Amino acid sequence: MAAKNHFSLLLLLLLQLFYSGSILKNCKTGRAELQMNYYAKSCPKAEEIIKQQVTELYYEHGNTAVSWLRNLFHDCVVQSCDASLLLETTVGVESEKDSDRSFGMRNFKYVNKIKSAVENACPQTVSCADIVALSARDGIVMLKGPHIDLKTGRRDSKMSYSNLVEELVPKHNESLVNVLSRFKSIGIDTEATVALLGAHSVGRVHCVNLVERLYPTVDRTIDPNYAQYLKVRCPTPNPDPEAVLYSRNDRETPMILDNMYYRNVLEHKGLLIVDQELVSNPLTLPYVKKFAADIKYFHDQFSRGIRLLSENNPLTANQGEIRKDCRYVN
């Protein structure tokens, strides 16, 4: 009898720990405060306007869609999804987007076009942070990825976190193990992380970020024929960073968010170290195989990953502000 009582007490204690743990987590990340269709009353056309702008921009410059996806990652992984990425360099403070880690990022000027369209309909109502999230969502659709329902209600930071960029944005040669633990620390599990790396199914990598794997000796994990091709794309060990020498992430379907990325890494045709390590790490390999075999499953996990990433530690309620111009604090 006594033993049984002890047992139920323990169970109660465990349950309590479990619940207080998850409540704490919700408060800390602020996930509980974002909501679906946050602008339903204040700016009912907001999501539609953003989608229309993203679509128009895609037909003018297809790679804008790719940029919106990378923007979400670089914004959300530093502190929170708060559009701190979009701030311009001011006296004494280098912007996040001008830091080395943002090398190759482009199309920032078109964010202003999206923001202006939204401001015309609803002045100072819709945050730049939500524009980052929703433009990524709509860009993913243009790249033939899944449609992802996203919550809104993020607010904009009043400062840039350029001092944290080096620490928080993974470098081009970061190891997968470090990336997995970094993502875990913001609540993104291994499977979702592997799915998010599927973003490297689109876009490009510049030679400055590749030559380390090609010169003086070729990284043994790269398929030899593929290495030959990469050496044609990147013919010298010291490419001029200003020269636009690059290789596409996926040679076959470079502008489609499909599962070719996983088939490529299985064939040892990954461009970055993190990409290639997905198949040498026993924790990630099973997911790579699943995604390579089943695009629907990949898209489901990718959607889950984007939701987790886009809800990292948002500013809500009276935190931060709604910027008038995404480049400057009010």
Ligand X SMILES: *[C@@H]1O[C@H](CO)[C@@H](O)[C@H](O)[C@H]1NC(C)=O
Contact between 255 and 202 under an 8 Å Cβ cutoff? The reply is yes
CA-based nearest residue to 104, from 251, 278, 235, 249: 249
DSSP H helices in 30-80: 46-60, 63-76
Give the nearest distance from C-beta 285 to ligand HEM in angstroms.
17
Residues 95-134 that bind ligand HEM (CB under 6 A): 103-104, 106
Contact between 283 and 181 under an 8 Å Cβ cutoff? The reply is no
Q: Is 240 annotated as a binding residue?
A: no
Based on the shown chain and the rule CB under 6 A, indicate whether residue 90 belongs to the binding site for ligand X.
Answer: no
Give the nearest distance from C-beta 143 to ligand HEM in angstroms.
9
Residue 266 CA, chain-centre distance (Å), reads 22
Contact between 49 and 122 under an 8 Å Cβ cutoff? The reply is no
Looking from the CA of 13 toward its CB, the CA atoms found within 13 Å total 6
Based on the shown chain and the rule CB under 6 A, indicate whether residue 274 belongs to the binding site for ligand HEM.
Answer: yes
Give the nearest distance from C-beta 328 to ligand HEM in angstroms.
24
Among all residues, whose Cβ is closest to ligand HEM? 104
CA-based nearest residue to 327, from 98, 122, 169, 21: 98
Residues 113-142 that bind ligand X (CB under 6 A): none
Interaction pattern, residues 138-177, with ligand X; x per rule: CB under 6 A: ---------------------------------x-x----
Contact between 236 and 282 under an 8 Å Cβ cutoff? The reply is no
H or E segment to which residue 206 belongs? strand 204-206
- How far apart, in whole angstroms, are the C-alpha atoms of residue 264 and residue 145? 18
Based on the shown chain and the rule CB under 6 A, indicate whether residue 270 belongs to the binding site for ligand HEM.
Answer: no
> Which of 65, 196, 265, 326 contacts ligand HEM by CB under 6 A?
196
> Which of 170, 239, 270, 320 contacts ligand HEM by CB under 6 A?
170
Nearer to ligand X, 217 or 318 (CB): 217
- Total number of residues that touch ligand HEM (CB under 6 A): 25
Contacts of 5 (CB under 8 A, 6+ apart): none
> Which of 205, 245, 265, 295 contacts ligand HEM by CB under 6 A?
205
Neighbours of 168 (CB within 10 A): 16
Q: Please report where in the chains the tokens 């592997």 appear, as a residue.
A: 194
Q: What percentage of the chain's residues is helix, strand, coil (to nearest 5)?
A: 55, 5, 40
Based on the shown chain and the rule CB under 6 A, indicate whether residue 206 belongs to the binding site for ligand HEM.
Answer: yes
74 is known as an active-site residue: yes
- How far apart, in whole angstroms, are the C-alpha atoms of residue 102 and residue 112? 19
Q: Is 210 helix (H, G, I), strand (E, B) or coil?
A: coil
Active-site residue among 61, 74, 206, 299?
A: 74
Based on the shown chain and the rule CB under 6 A, indicate whether residue 228 belongs to the binding site for ligand X.
Answer: no
Among all residues, whose Cβ is closest to ligand X? 173
Q: Is 250 annotated as a binding residue?
A: yes
Based on the shown chain and the rule CB under 6 A, indicate whether residue 140 belongs to the binding site for ligand HEM.
Answer: no
161 binds, among ligand HEM, ligand X, none (CB under 5 to 8 A by kind): none
Binding site feature residues for substrate: 170
Catalytic residues: 74
Which residues of this chain interact with ligand HEM, rule CB under 6 A?
A: 63, 66-67, 69-70, 73, 103-104, 106, 170, 172, 174, 179, 196-197, 199-200, 202-206, 209, 272, 274
Binding positions for ligand X, rule: CB under 6 A: 171, 173
